[in-house]
Structure 1
Amino acid sequence: MDDELNQAPACPVEHRLVLDPTGRSRDAESEELCARGPATPVDILGVPAWAVADPLLLEELLQDPRVSKDPLPHRPDSERPLPDRPPALRVGARTVSTAHGADHRRLRRLTGAAFSTLRVTELADRVEESTGELLDAIALTPPGTAVDLRERLARPLPLRVTAHLLGLPDTLHERLRHHADRAFATTPTPQEAAPDTTALSRMLDQLTAARRAHPGEDLTSALTAARDTQGDDGALSEEELHNTLLLTLSAGHESTANLIDNAITLLLTHPGQLDLVRAGKAGWEDVVEESLRRDTPVAHLPLRHAVEDIALPGGVTIRRGEAILASCAAAGRHPARYGAHGAVFDVTRPAKDHLAFGHGPHLCPGAPLARLEARTALRALFERFPRLALLPGAELEPLDSLTSNGHRSLPVLLTQDH
C-alpha cells in the first residue's frame, strides 16, 4: 500500500494554478479558484497543494480527522519551510495552531481561557482606552494632512491589546511593535528577519522570567504556571510555551490589523453602506462580519496535510501526505453559498457566515477579541471623524504577501471639502 501511494501522481503539474506571491492578483485568483471546482491543484511559493475554495467542502475538511495541521509527521518534504509564514513560526514550531489530535486538545484547553467570553469582556475597557488614545493622537494632525490609518490605528491597536493580554509593560510596547513588525513580516528571508526574531524571543524570555517571579492576571503567567506545575512531561513544554507566546503575538497583530484596515476601506469606498449604519439599518457588528466575509484578513491558510487518502466530489483524490490550502478569500465570495453577488459589500446581507477565523477544532480562539477590537475602532473612528475620506488619488496597494490580506498603507483625510 505504501509503495502504491508513493507511486500515485501528486497534484497534477500541468493543471496547477501558480498563486501570485505578491497578492496583487488576489481577486482574479479567487474567481479562478471558484470556477475550477471544489479543489484545484496550485503552486504556493514552489510548494504543490490542493486549494479548496468551496465553503461546504472546506468546512468538512477543516474538521476531518484525516486532515492534520501538524506538518512534521505527515508531509514528505517536512524539512521545507511552510510558505509565506513569519520566520519565527515556520515548520517545526509547536503551538496550538499546528498541533493535531490529543496534543491540540491539550494546548487548546490551556490557551482557551485567555480568550473566554469573560476575559474578552474584561478587556473591553482596555480596548476603548487604547482606541481613544490613538484617536487623540490622530486628531492632532494638521488640517489637510494625510493620515495613514493602518500605521496609526489598525496596527497599533491590536498590538497594544495583545501586549496587555501577555502582561508586557506599557514601556516596552514600542520595542515590541518594532521587532514584531519585522519578525512577523512575510517577505524577509529567515536570515533577514533573524535579528528581530532573536530580539523578540529575548523579550518573551525576559517576560516569562518576570512572570515566574511575579505572576499576574495575564496569559504569560497562566502558561508559565502550567509549564512549571506540570513539568517536562506534563501540560506544556518550554518550547510550546515560547512558541505559543510568539503565535499569540503574530495572530493578534497582523490579522486584526487587516480586519480593521479592510473594514475602513470598504466603508470609505462604499459610502452608501456607511449611511446605512448611521441610519441604524445595520450595526457595527454587521460591518465587521461582512468585512470578514468579503475581504478576509488571511487569504489562504497554509498548510494542512492529508493523513490518509481523501476522496472528494468529482473524482479527485487528495493523496496521503499531500498539502491542503484553505483558500478563505475565495470561499468568502463563493457563488455556491453567496450567489452571483458574493463580491458585493452589503452590510444588510442576511447571511454573513464565513470562514475567516477557520472552522472546527482549529477555530481561532482569538476571534471574539478581534471582533471586539474592530467594532470598537470602527465606531469610535467614524464618530470622532464623521467627514473622514480617502486621500484623493491614493492607490491602495495590497500587502506584498500571498496570505496576509490588507494594504501597505491607508491614507485618509480627517475632513473633506464639499
Structure 2
Amino acid sequence: MLERITLQVLNQVLPFSGRIKDEVSIDCNDAGVDYLEANVNNCSLLDVITNPNTHSLRQLLPLDQPYTLESPLVLVQVNQFQCGGIAIGVCVSHKISDVYSLSAFINGWSSATRGDSKVIAPLFELATLFPWKDKSDDQGFEATEGHRKDVVVAKRFVFNASDIARLREKARNVESPTRVELVSAFIWKRFIELDRSRSCPTTKPYSAYHAVNLRKRRVPPLEEHSFGNMSSIVVALLTTKNDDNDKYCSLVAKIRGAIRGIDGAFVKKLESGEEGHLKNFEAGLMQASQGENEQINFSSWCRVSFYDADFGWGKPVWVTTISVDLKNLVILMDTRSGDGIEVWVNMLEEDIEGFASDPELLAFASETHFPS
C-alpha cells in the first residue's frame, strides 16, 4: 500500500524520480527511487526511542550503498517492528532538496495514504525566481567539512521548554530571541569554552554559521512547499576575548543580528542577480573562515512540519535525524511537544566526550530523554 502511494506522489515530484545530469540540472528520466521493507526482530520500537544511539538509528535507513551520480535521489525504508511499531526512514539528495522540500514530500505522501483528495503538490518556481548563473570562474566559498579520515561522533541533547525559559532569562537583555537563537548561542558558548580549556591563552576568532530558510523572508513570502534548496548561510563572528563580547547574551545578539540580516531586501537583491551584493556576501563568509578560526555550523529544522505526517496510524511519536560525518555540525529539531528543541551535535571523537560532560551544558540539557 505504502509503495503504491509513494509512486502516486512521485508523479507530482518528478525530479525525485530522476538522476543528476550535471551540477545544475536533473534528468527527469523516471528512473525511480529505492523502496525497501525491513523486519526488525532484535529490538522493539520502544527500545529505539528510549535509548537512541546512532548505530541502531542507521539500521532504519537504506544506507548500504555508496552514493554515485547514478544513485536514486530518494531512498525509503519502511521498518516493521515485531512489537507492531513502524519506523519510516527517508534519505534524500541535498543537491535538489532541502529539509522543507523533504517535509512537503513526506506530508504529501502521508496525506495520499489517508486518501486525502487535497494533497498539496510542490511548487517548482525557484529556478525561475533565482535563475542559474555560470560561476565556474569564481573562487567561491566552501564550508569547512573536516578531514574524512577523522572519526566524527554524534551526541543528542534535549532542551525542554523550561530549559529554554531559563536560557531566555540569561539573555534577558536581548529583545525577543527565538528558541533557535537561544539554543544555538548556548551551544556556541559551550563550544568556545571547550576549545579555550584545551588551548593556550588565545584571541583567535570563533565563528557560528547558520543556515537560514529564505522562503518566508522573501516579500511576498513563498510557500514552504516551494521545491528545491532555498537557504542562505549567515555568520556570527567573535573576534576578541573580553568580558562583554563573549558573554552568553552577547552571543545571542550576534546570532540574532546575523539571522535578521537576511530580510526581504537581501532576498530581493539575490533574486535580481545583483553581482556586487552576492560577491560582498561571499567575501564576508570567506573572511570569517580564514586564519586560526574555530567554526561551528548550525542547521535548524525547527518549525518544519514533520510531526504532521499521519500515514493513518496517528502522528509520529518521534522524528529525528542521525549522525552526519561533518565535524562541528549541529542540527536542531523540534521536540514532539513543539516547545522544546532536540539537538544533535557532531564532533570529532576526541572532542565530543569533553563537550558532552560539560557541567554547564548538562545543567540546561539532558543527553538521555524520552521524546515528549
* TM-score, shorter chain, exceeding 0.5: no
Structure having greater relative contact order (Cα 8 Å, sep ≥ 6): 1
| Larger helix fraction of residues | 1
TM-score by length of structure 1 reads: 0.26
